[in-house]
Amino acid sequence: MELRLRQEVLARFPDDGWFYFGVVWAIVAKNMVYKILDGAGNLTDITRSDMLLEEDEGYAAIEVSKYVNVEISKISADYIIQTNVNALCFV
């Protein structure tokens, strides 16, 4: 299935192998590679095989977990914890 510009996808990003929501920003190689804009404003080339659409088989089986992967970056004297959220976990 050919994707269209500005279409939302769930894509596996190569830097950490996790799935994130993104938007098709450009078509690099028709039906094969797309430039995906993530929520942080970064563009990444991702193959179609590393993307899921709502119409794709298996998409409905993905559930967002109650847990998130976080890294504690600072605990202040007032016990205020600052964290960096990496991504939602999928099960």
- From residue 7, alpha-carbon distances to 73, 83, 84 in Å are 34, 30, 27
Span 44-85, pLDDT tens digits: 999 998 988 877 655 555 555 545 455 555 555 555 444 444
Amino acid at 76: S
Site of tokens 């890294």: 71
Determine the CATH number of domain 8-90: 2.30.30.140
What's the CA gap between 12 and 22, in Å, rounded? 10
Q: Please tell me the predicted confidence (pLDDT) of residue 36.
A: 94
Q: Please tell me the predicted confidence (pLDDT) of residue 54.
A: 74
What number of other Cβ atoms are within 10 A of residue 36's Cβ? Answer: 24
Span 24-42, pLDDT tens digits: 999 999 889 999 998 888 8
Domain extents in the chain: 8-90
Q: Please tell me the predicted confidence (pLDDT) of residue 60.
A: 56
Q: Please tell me the predicted confidence (pLDDT) of residue 55.
A: 74
Span 76-90, pLDDT tens digits: 555 544 444 444 444
Which pTM does this prediction carry? 0.63
What's the CA gap between 25 and 51, in Å, rounded? 14
User: Is the CB of residue 68 less than 8 Å from the CB of residue 89?
Assistant: yes
